[in-house]
Amino acid sequence: MCGIIARVGSDNGVDELLNSLSNLDYRGYDSAGLAVVNGDIRPTVVKCEGSIEDLGTRIDGRLAGSVGIGHTRWSTHGPPTDENAHPHTCCDGRIAVVHNGIIENHESLRERLVAAGHRFDSETDTEVVPHLIETYLKRGCDPETAFRRAVGDLSGSYAIAALIGDDDTVYATRSGSPLVLGVGDDEYYLASDVPAFLEYTDRVVYLEDGQLLTVDPEGYRLTTFDGRTLDPSVETVNWDPEQAGKGAYDHFMLKEIYEQPHALRQAIKGRVDPGTNELSLEEFEEGAFADVSDVQFVGCGTSYHAALYGVHLCSNRGIPAAAYLASEYATSQPRISEDTLVVGVTQSGETADTLNALREADRAGARTLALTNVVGSTAARECDDALLIRAGPEIGVAATKTFSSQVVCLLLLAERLARDRGLDESSSDLFAALDALPDAVQRLLDETSARSIAERYSGANSFFFIGRNTCFTVALEGALKFKEITYEHAEGFAAGELKHGPLALVTPETPAIGVLDGPDREKTRHSLAEARARGAPVVAITCDPESVDDVADHVLEVPRTHLELAGVLANVQLQLLSYHAAAMLSRPIDKPRNLAKSVTVE
């Protein structure tokens, strides 16, 4: 989950490297470092435990070079220390390497290298790579061959970039972890994710597993691992660079919550016509899903909650569907046929557990589809089909606007599946509500009272979130968001299950937050009454405040909409509740402890 950046140009690029690292710190932020070529026989390395700002202070204008690599770390092997920070070097310091992923055979490689006389300074798996390159250089290999042979010794998942000696070339490759090349006018960038360099160029080349890239000031060359030259296509990313910035907001999370009306418009644009009830998903041919017998969704975290929402949307249309935690999919052994559609719900398209689940489904003969935010992501490229959610870059570690966009696109997918299979299409009321959804979210954002409710219950012992049907999935997501950024205990329950155990935990210090605007709203209302009868303060999220006068102490009101979309509006209120609660506790909202944005390790 670490962030890699490389920059190759003809002028001093240290400021660009530091800025690009700042743009990547949602991928890890416990240590950071740079290595640059500056005329010496070895790259100059500066690294430290702490933030990228700490790294900038340590550099303090004393580092210069036109070619360099950088890294921001999310710890896997060894705690955050100066020694464990990347880049890592070989014995004589002539090779510097940054790495994202996990090298599974690092222990045996380390033993072999130590026996050969190599000295190690860190606890990381990464450090074996520069020593391997050094070994092959000493055997007479040229730098590219040494890099190629060193990588051939590795097993696991990795994205690697290396500097070798005083050469102004960056060597890079990937296997299971993302790398994308940015092609500028007079410089080149290499990063784990596009936002790293988006303000410098929007032209990109997505690397595939097993490809080797060399970049110098004269250009770049992409080859297969056996040396065959490739001619990759250069794509243009249609993200606005300003979208990757924080603007006037205090946090990326708040900015991205308020971007949801725009993100939803993008998700819907050109895909639905409320006037004619037409649905157009140009990614798929007419009747593309006519043979689908059942749908299996896989995802992690917030994306898993969106997948659960998708199950309800499919079931409502008579389509057999189930959702699986991607990390458990292989051991769950669901029955798969050639008519099974397996949908990977993944914001980044790079989540390791989800990719592995999709690959397992592909091996079993299923058709695969990636529901993702990133055009050139691994999931989008590897799956049989892809449906983009079009949410724009999301930098905050806690996902917000991507959940809303995922749910809307899952609704469109479920509707298309139903139509292709000859099932009754939904009424025009749904598409009219979908068309009005962005404005409804904007109205909610303008009128919300989430901050005052967060103030009222700051300091509570625990928070319970409950709901039924799609509102249960929103309750799960609300609890996840709350615990992610406040560090306070929160749990989501199906409302009907409250009385089957969790009610034992209810006290006057455990607010119960109920999402009511689903098909079983009255039953959820009864569950809230049970909690209140035992002293719990109750917050109700509903479009009909008067209906909960007798059970709710506070109401977070949402605009009235179609039942299948009510959860989207309720979720925005829960995002705001979590945000304001975390802000009052002075939590690092965009960088919650121990977490990172794109989980590219299992």
Give me the active site residues, please.
Answer: 2, 597
DSSP structural state of residue 270: T
Dihedral angle over CA of 589, 591, 592, 593, nearest 10 = -140
Dihedral angle over CA of 119, 121, 126, 127, nearest 10 = -20
Quote the tokens at residue 576.
């705001």
Angle formed by the axes of helices 301-315 and 470-486, to 10°? 170
**240: three-class secondary structure by DSSP:** coil
Q: Which residue has the tokens 């644009």?
A: 269
- Give the length of the chain: 602
Phi, psi dihedrals of residue 478, rounded to the nearest 5° = -60, -40
Q: Is-contact 531 550, C-beta < 8 A? A: no
Largest CA-CA distance found in the chain, in angstroms, rounded: 82
- Burial zone of 296 (CB within 10 Å; 0-12 exposed, 13-18 middle, 19+ buried): buried
Quote the tokens at residue 140.
């007479």
CA distance 53 to 41: 28
**269: three-class secondary structure by DSSP:** coil
Q: Order of strands, edge to edge, in the sheet holding 512-515? A: 490-494, 463-467, 512-515, 538-542, 554-557
Alpha-carbon distance values, 571 to 87, 162, 256, 402, 576 (Å): 40, 43, 13, 12, 9
CA distance 489 to 310: 27
CA distance 72 to 451: 33
What is the Cβ-side half-sphere exposure of residue 84, based on CA atoms within 13 angstroms? 17
Q: Is-contact 246 252, C-beta < 8 A? A: yes
CA neighbor of 480 nearest in space, from 300, 215, 288: 300
Alpha-carbon distance values, 544 to 286, 515, 525, 555 (Å): 40, 12, 12, 9
CA distance 584 to 269: 37
Q: Is-contact 343 296, C-beta < 8 A? A: yes
Phi, psi dihedrals of residue 211, rounded to the nearest 5° = -95, 150
CA distance 287 to 198: 37
CA neighbor of 516 nearest in space, from 581, 560, 457: 560
CA angle in degrees (0–180, nearest 5) for 475-344-561: 40
Strand 188-191 with 3-8, pairing: antiparallel
91 — alpha (psi -120 to 50), left (phi > 0) or beta?
alpha
CA distance 416 to 421: 8
Is the CA virtual torsion 12, 15, 21, 24 positive or negative? Answer: negative
In sequence order, the β-bridge partners of residue 581 are none
